[in-house]
Structure 1
Amino acid sequence: MLRTRNIYSRGSNKKFRISRSKVDDFINCPRCFWLDRVKGVDRTRTPTFAINNAVDRLLKNEFDHYREKQTKHPIFIQENLNYIPFDDIRLNNWRENFKGIEYYDKDLNLTFTGAIDDLWLNEDTKKVIVVDYKATSKEGAIVMSDDGWWPQYKRQMEFYQFLLRMNGMKVEDHGFFLYVNGIKEGFFDSKVKFNTYLIRYEGDTSWIPGTLKKLKSTLESEDVPETSKSCDHCRYFDDRQDSFRKLNYGQNLEFEFDE
């Protein structure tokens, strides 16, 4: 069944919200993004990773402890960083998934949002630092690269930097991924131990304004964008359609939408 909520209407004067994850959907596949936001065709959903969410909550609890005291977390001392957890009354809202940091672009008539994990304060520059928590359990050290999930992680951090700057915040160009990797050795004993990696990343937000303009143009388009060759969702749909045709079911699974 097609979704009827959060649907973009071409030419509307009503403000429309676009989350950071939806911007990433657009980058990955304009076709899927258009079908989702304009026609209400949800993408296949992935399961929630409850353990990762628990680790995320524990890390927030830990840094909130030092935030309340406005003292250095041990990892700052270990890495010789003159940082403290950033304290701001807006932080709780900025962390909420369906609230987050908001920026209204009056030219595009779109409100862009994103929920951060944490912010630290560089006491030397008085600028905030975007921090994103990541949890996994795999062999070897965690090393940043241009493969796998890393391009998405980098864009995620850059988008948060952009949103904060659009809200008048002074933001460092660099941010950190606080990555914890579960250790699989030994016994469970009702607890899991982690190795912790603090990975610095120099963000570049120059791609964002142009991307948001293209996103708006796609929302306003009457025509569905071309299938993306790199999109798993599009490939699945095309393969499914081809299979029906080869089996002579005479079914065409192309979408037809009533205006």
Structure 2
Amino acid sequence: MINLSASKLNLLLDCERCFWLVMVKNVKRPSGPISSIPIKMDSIIKGYYNRYRGGILPPILNGQVKGRLAVGMPLTLRYEPFKGVFLQGRPDDYVEQGDENVVALDNKTSSKAPPEIHPSHQLQSDIYSYLLMKNKYKTIPRAYLAYFSPRESDVDEVMTLTCSVIEVCTNPDRVDSLMRKAVQVLNGSIPYPGQNCPYCGWIQSLAKFPMVG
């Protein structure tokens, strides 16, 4: 059984060798400590959303999102495009629009909204649209990214947030071909090191030095 997600498919696009090592050998890229602030922020934002669910749109989203927060949607979307291959995604929330189409809403914390959509966020949004479509929800190729940022304030003042929403035009049609590529890579031998992968480059640089026992 092969379990795929946006993060794993983003890794595939970044470096096929690192993707293969994670999926086949469970060898993950090294990582540093993970900040708990975004996790807490996510919990606070979801609590705020729930106060308005099924009714009016949360005021911080007014004028930026069309529709209202959806009710009764699953936490996780899952689909089996090929036998033994599963794709799953977990949007932060969903928006039900006036025409009853449901689209994904994902929250991001940052110092400010980016000038353009990061490729990893684009793929994530593409996958959410794909999963909504394959799970027979009425949907359109669209998603929302809500960037929450702290307003300037003194450290002894209450911190408030601002929100900038970007409407994403999604491309769910590319997801099937990307999953086929993932299966092809996993069924083959270990790929060559990625040309632009800093992790593969670091490992290759170590080969220049003799091991000291």
Do they fold alike, i.e. is TM over 0.5? Answer: yes
The answer on whether the counterparts of 1:144 and 1:199 sit within 8 Å (CA) in structure 2 is no
Partner residue, 1:203 = 170
Structure 1 unpaired stretches of 5+: 1-14, 95-99, 252-259
The 5 A counterparts of 1:11-160 are 15-67=1-53, 69-76=54-61, 78-79=62-63, 82-88=66-72, 90-91=73-74, 94=75, 100-107=76-83, 109-123=84-98, 125-137=99-111, 142-145=113-116, 150-160=118-128
The answer on whether the counterparts of 2:92 and 2:106 sit within 8 Å (CA) in structure 1 is yes
- Judged with a 3 Å threshold, the aligned counterparts in structure 2 of structure 1 residues 81 and 201 are, in CA distance, closer, same or farther, namely closer
The RMSD of aligned alpha carbons is 2.1
Bigger Rg, which one:
1
Secondary structure at the residue paired with 1:192?
A: coil
The answer on whether the counterparts of 1:52 and 1:136 sit within 8 Å (CA) in structure 2 is no
- Judged with a 3 Å threshold, the aligned counterparts in structure 2 of structure 1 residues 237 and 81 are, in CA distance, closer, same or farther, namely closer
- The C-alpha deviation readout for 1:74-97, integer Å capped at 9, x for no partner, is 245x31755111001x43xx2xxx
The answer on whether the counterparts of 1:131 and 1:175 sit within 8 Å (CA) in structure 2 is yes
User: Taking CA–CA contacts closer than 8 Å with sequence separation of 6 or more, which of the two structures ends up with the larger relative contact order?
Assistant: 2
Of the three residues 181, 187, 212, the one matched with 2:179 is: 212
What is the letter of the counterpart of residue 90 of structure 2? A
Does residue 164 in structure 1 map to residue 146 in structure 2? no
Q: How many residues align?
A: 213
Partner residue, 1:225 = 191
Structure 2 unpaired stretches of 5+: none
* Counterpart Cα distance in 2 of 1:171 and 1:48: 34
Return the offset for 1:250: 8.2
When normalised by structure 1's length, the TM-score is: 0.75
- The C-alpha deviation readout for 1:139-178, integer Å capped at 9, x for no partner, is xx524326xxx11111111111111111111222221111
Return the offset for 1:190: 6.1
Aligned-residue sequence identity (percent) comes to 22
Secondary structure at the residue paired with 1:224?
A: coil
Return the offset for 1:193: 2.5
